[in-house]
Amino acid sequence: MNQPDTGGHGLRSFEASSGLDNHFMRLNLKVRMPSSLPLPVQCPRQPARTWLRSLLLLSAILPGIANAGPRPDNMVYLRTIDPTIEQDIRYASAHNFTGHSLDGYDAAECLLSLDTAQALARVQRALQKQGYGLKVFDCYRPSRAVADMGRFATEPGNPRKAEFYPRVDKQDFWRLGYVARVSNHSRGSTVDLTLIGPKALTADTWIPKAAQVDCTAPYAQRWRDGALDMGTGYDCFDERAHTANPTINATAKENRQRLSSAMEKEGFAGYSKEWWHFTFGGDGAPKSVMDFPITPLSTNEVLDSSHQLIVVTTKNWDDIQGIAQRYERDGASFRKVGDGFAVVVGKNGMAWGKGLGNVEPGEGPVKREGDGKAPAGIFRLGTAFGYDATAATKLPYLALTSTTECVDDRKSERYNELVDGAAIAKDWNSSEQMREEAGYRKGILIEHNTPASPGAGSCIFFHIWRGPASPTLGCTAMDQGDISRLFEWLNPRESPVLVQMPEGEYEQLRERWKLPRR
């Protein structure tokens, strides 16, 4: 949803949206179309079902208009430009109005045109001086994802209605303009985002069976995304999400104004119907829609974007003991933070795991479920968890309960997920009961095998050890004091990553990946 592009050039135009929609921009797409196809906006009295069928026919035409080739050179990962901007890419998960991850979102990453990303970084720096910052929900959106949204609007089922569109009927999405066939997001110059700051409530960890709360509910009641009160949640199909809606409270009005003002100063234009939606209008903004998929960063892109690094090495593949060292970025390299500390890994050592970037396993072993090996590779660090109700950490935190489980049954749809076993129907026969393991009194999720491939290994954490000579079943464990320091030090805004492997492999890859000397 955007302000419309205009112009005819003598071709019949398909107006992709009625304008009440910030997911999908309103524009005149110049396309030569068969004369037998009706144009929905030009025929407002046409029965909805008839022109819906016409739009579905158009979905077969429109993908050919977009660039479905490789990522253009001017499209960059936001992390590589400013890793301090937080990311919660909703369409890479099921936590969005469709209830499923969208086509083309093969990684939860924000991509933008270079000029747009640089402008957003300037907004971030200005806000940080005021004690605030940005969190992005969506950036570049492949055209195939826009088509996926369109399909959802015509199919039965309302898995997330109670949260995202409680007062809108699904069959009215088209009439109200909440879905369309072309989105300005697909040009790489539009971003959905929010404002973070010291008065924001701590972000919750979303799971598929999380309770759905109306996106217009009071701030303390609706889904906690780690942002300030903006009057509604993100992706809220409701008039209260209109930027200048007069019914929201004074705090939300002030926060919306602060965000809009900061964005406008750097060349972004907001959209009246959705407070979170901004389009960059600089000369370098892309003009064509694109359809290349969003894929993970390369190994070097991952490391270049990280400002916090933990390196764990062992003597060889079979060793159970190792050394961990913290680092912080210092220009183009890393500098040590504090002293190294002892860790233990899997009872059978390590094996190449499934993490970030393009790590070629080489001649080493490859991790499998139940092999008693800790994963080697590069991994992002996710949610912190523990027995306590709260914790002194900037990481998202999950308080474990008696029903919290980590599913290790490779046949389960919840394989490699932390779930509340009392809240969902079980389709697994094997899991870890998190409150029954004393070492999980304090832990951090290592994002190995995410998204999960059945049998590639599950439930990998940093956690407290039983002792310096007691290995794990595949995790990396350490003294309680050392994991407490990690809790305090790690900051998701700094894109922290774990590099873990035997010393020989580390030395072989160190120069290529620009890793620090041990």
**Residue ranges at the known binding site for Zn(2+):** 185, 192, 277
Order across the sheet with 404-407: list the strands: 418-420, 404-407, 431-433
Other Cβ atoms within 10 Å of 147 Cβ, number: 24
Q: How far apart, in whole angstroms, are the C-alpha atoms of residue 108 and residue 92? A: 5
Residue 148 burial (10 A CB sphere; 0-12, 13-18, 19+): buried
Q: Are 311 and 506 in contact (CB under 8 A)?
A: yes
Q: How far apart, in whole angstroms, are the C-alpha atoms of residue 164 and residue 235? A: 6
Both tokens assigned to 15 = 């107006």
If DSSP codes are grouped into helix, strand and coil, which group holds residue 300? helix
Give the DSSP per-residue string, 16-85. ---S--SSS---EEE----TTS--TTT-TTS-HHHHHHHHHHHTTTGGGTSB-SSPPTTEEEHHHH-TTS
- How many residues make up the chain in this entry? 518
Exposed e or buried b for every residue in 225-254, given b needs 16+ CB within 10 A? bbbbbbbbbbbbbbebbbbebeebeeebbe
Query: What is the Cα Rg of the chain in Å?
Result: 24
Q: How far apart, in whole angstroms, are the C-alpha atoms of residue 262 and residue 120? A: 10
Residue numbering of the annotated binding site: 185, 192, 277
Q: Are 76 and 114 in contact (CB under 8 A)?
A: yes
Cβ-based neighbours of 318, under 8 Å, separated by 6 or more: 348, 349
In the beta sheet, which residues pair with residue 406? Answer: 418, 432
Cβ-based neighbours of 129, under 8 Å, separated by 6 or more: none
Residue 372 Rama label (left phi>0; alpha psi -120 to 50; beta): left
Other Cβ atoms within 10 Å of 422 Cβ, number: 12
Q: How far apart, in whole angstroms, are the C-alpha atoms of residue 156 and residue 169? A: 12
Q: Are 355 and 375 in contact (CB under 8 A)?
A: yes
Q: Are 435 and 401 in contact (CB under 8 A)?
A: yes
Residue 417 falls in the annotated catalytic set: no
Exposed e or buried b for every residue in 340-356, given b needs 16+ CB within 10 A? bbebbbbebbbbbbbbb
Q: Which of 15, 163, 274, 432 is catalytic?
A: 274
Q: How far apart, in whole angstroms, are the C-alpha atoms of residue 267 and residue 250? A: 26
Q: Which residues are catalytic?
A: 274
